[in-house]
Amino acid sequence: MISIYITSFIVGGLICVIGQLLMDVAKLTPAHTLVSLVVTGSVLDGIGWYEPLIDFAGAGATIPITSFGNALTHGAMAEAEKHGLVGVVTGMFEVTSSGISAAIIFGLIGALLFTSKGNV
């Protein structure tokens, strides 16, 4: 059981290191970095590599934004398997709605509760 914590720490950390290198070495803006990682996640799922990574690293693979691309692709492919080409579009948010819905709900609640502060 302990090993899942180590692997999640290391794998999650390494994905972030890739992000940092994209920002510092490739000089990408944060937005471009995140977009690249999301696209990478969905491609990795397409070739079937991301699911084993989740099995290996648990939250280390599901918490980084790459899992967002993976989950979208996974939903689309699962639905396509059942319903053919139409499923590609309809299945997209089947599995990944939680991230977006949580962001929307907590975004609005955050706006109700807080004001931004210009401190260091």
Partner 1 sequence: MKKLSILLIILGLLTGCSEKGTYIKNTTSQDEHSLEEVIMRNEHVKLAKVLLFEDELLAGIRVNTFSRFKKKTIATDIQKKLEKEYPDLKITVSADSKILLETEKLIRKKDEKDYRKKIDKIKSIEKEQT
Partner 2 sequence: MIRGLLTFQSKPSIYATGVTAGPLEKKKSVFAPLFDKVYEDERCDLPTNEDGHKQLMYDAVLIALSKAKKQPEKIDFFLTGDLVNQMTPSNFTAQALAIPYIGLFSACATSVSSMITAALLADAKQANWIMAGSSSQHNAIERQFRYPLEYGSQKGATAQWTVTAAGAVLIGQHKVDTPVIDCATVGKVIDMGMTDPLNMGSAMAPAASDTLMNHLTGHGRTIDDYDTIITGDLGSNGFKIFKALANENGLPHTKNFRDAGEEFYGNDPSFKAGASGSGCSAAVFLSDVYQKMLTREYKRVLLLATGALLSPLSFQQGDTIPCIAHAIELSMNEVTAE
Partner 3 sequence: MQQEKYAQIEKELSPKPPILKNVMKAFLTGGLICLVGQFIALFYITYFDFTERTASNPTVATMIFIAMLLTGFGLYKKISQFGGAGAAVPITGFGNAVVSAAIEHKSEGYVLGVGGNMFKLAGSVILFGVFSAFVVALIKTILVKFGVVSW
Residues found near partner 2 in the complex (CB under 8 A)? 23, 30, 114, 116-120
**Which parts of 19-38 interact with partner 1 (CB under 8 A)?**
none
At residue 59, the 3 state secondary structure works out as: helix
Residue closer to partner 1 (CB basis): 3 or 119: 3
**Which parts of 77-106 interact with partner 1 (CB under 8 A)?**
78, 95
Q: Are 64 and 99 in contact (CB under 8 A)?
A: no
Residues whose CB falls within 8 Å of the CB of residue 33, separated by 6 or more in sequence, listed in order: 19, 22, 23
Rounded to an integer, what distance in angstroms lies between the CA atom of residue 51 and that of residue 74? 9
Count the residues of the shown chain that bind partner 1, applying the rule CB under 8 A. 16
CB 62, min distance to partner 1, A: 9
Residue reference for tokens 């004001």: 115
19 near partner 3, rule: CB under 8 A? yes
50 near partner 3, rule: CB under 8 A? no
106 near partner 3, rule: CB under 8 A? yes
Residue-level length of the chain? 120
Whose CA is closest to 41, among 72, 87, 17?
72
Residue 8 binds which entry of partner 2, partner 1, partner 3, none, with Cβ cut-offs from 5 to 8 Å by kind? partner 3
Q: What residue ranges bind partner 1 (CB under 8 A)?
A: 1-7, 51-53, 55-56, 71, 74, 78, 95
